Amino acid sequence: MTTTIHTINELQTQIKTWKNSGFVIGLVPTMGALHKGHASLIKKSAETCDKTVVSVFVNPTQFGANEDFSKYPRTLDKDIQLAEENNADIVFAPSSEEMYGKNYNKDFMTLVCPPYDLVNQLCGKTRIGHFDGVATVVTKLFNIAQPDYAFFGQKDAQQLYIIKKMVKDLNFPIKIIPCPIIRESNGLAISSRNQYLTQEEKQKALSISKALFTIQKYYEQGITDAQTLFDTAITVLDKDLELEYLNFIDYETFKKTDIIKQHTLVAICAKVGSTRLIDNIIT
């Protein structure tokens, strides 16, 4: 049975009871609109931990002024059902006021700002302030839920890297568990934003994962030059897509690399119509 909690106070009371009983606590932070990708995180937490908290909060501090905050899908009843099916114990669904107070103002609050070198590339290059918002809300959720483990999807590879770094730098006693990207059978990475796509756009969006799989294939055949792989992938991308980036990043240092080797993150972002999609592979 999954209990839904809306206040920090109530969640903390429950967490205290669990801690006193020695339970291992898992946290799955989400913005709701839960899908198979989230289900895999919740399932993993329920298998790993005694108790699982799923937070559902569309976090205003990580959206830019021209982004999709107001239209982001909010489907709490369905989310609770999916959380329950995957053995979550609590769905924590606070209001914005509960998280940030009455007169929320991003310019007048303490923010957690990840290192500039990590933020100023891939998504952070165009989503100014996005990772400050992510790091801040994740810090708040960690402080509120006091988890032993927290589960994040590999699809948001830059976010995952930044959170791992934050946990290390700020000494959070939390183990971050990365979980693999879940794809449709046709290869499309599952995302809450796929809901925005028309059927035709969905077909076009397929070329994003196809481009990544092409890179993987040529890399496995021995091609390691980033420019050659980039040029080949570009030919696979649907011509109607607006490519924001296709970058090759050393996933140990998070620096761009010209030569692909093991543990290179190949990350792509493209707009299909007005929907911005991201995907990646790690070689």
DSSP 79-133: HHHHHHHTT-SEEE---HHHHH-TT--GGGS------HHHHSSHHHHHSTTHHHH
Pick the closer one to ligand PAF by CB: 137 or 212. Answer: 137
Pick the closer one to ligand PAF by CB: 163 or 233. Answer: 163
Q: Would you put residue 103 in left (φ > 0), alpha (ψ -120 to 50) or beta?
A: beta
Of 231, 215, 207, the C-alpha closest to 265 is 215
Minimum distance between the CB of residue 183 and ligand PAF, rounded to whole angstroms?
17
Pick the closer one to ligand PAF by CB: 152 or 219. Answer: 152
Catalytic residue among 6, 35, 38, 263: 38
CB under 8 Å to 94, separation ≥6 — which residues?
6, 7, 8, 55, 57
Pick the closer one to ligand PAF by CB: 55 or 207. Answer: 55
Minimum distance between the CB of residue 257 and ligand PAF, rounded to whole angstroms?
25
The binding site for ligand PAF (CB under 6 A) comprises 29-31, 59, 62, 134, 137-138, 156, 159
Minimum distance between the CB of residue 135 and ligand PAF, rounded to whole angstroms?
9
CA distance 280 to 208: 9
CA distance 36 to 8: 27
CA distance 276 to 71: 14
Minimum distance between the CB of residue 107 and ligand PAF, rounded to whole angstroms?
19
35 catalytically annotated: no
Number of separate helices (H) and strands (E) present in the chain: 10, 10
CA distance 193 to 188: 12
Pick the closer one to ligand PAF by CB: 137 or 144. Answer: 137
Minimum distance between the CB of residue 28 and ligand PAF, rounded to whole angstroms?
9
DSSP 229-271: HHHHHHHHS-TTSEEEEEEEEETTTTEE-SB--TTEEEEEEEE
Residues noted as catalytic:
38
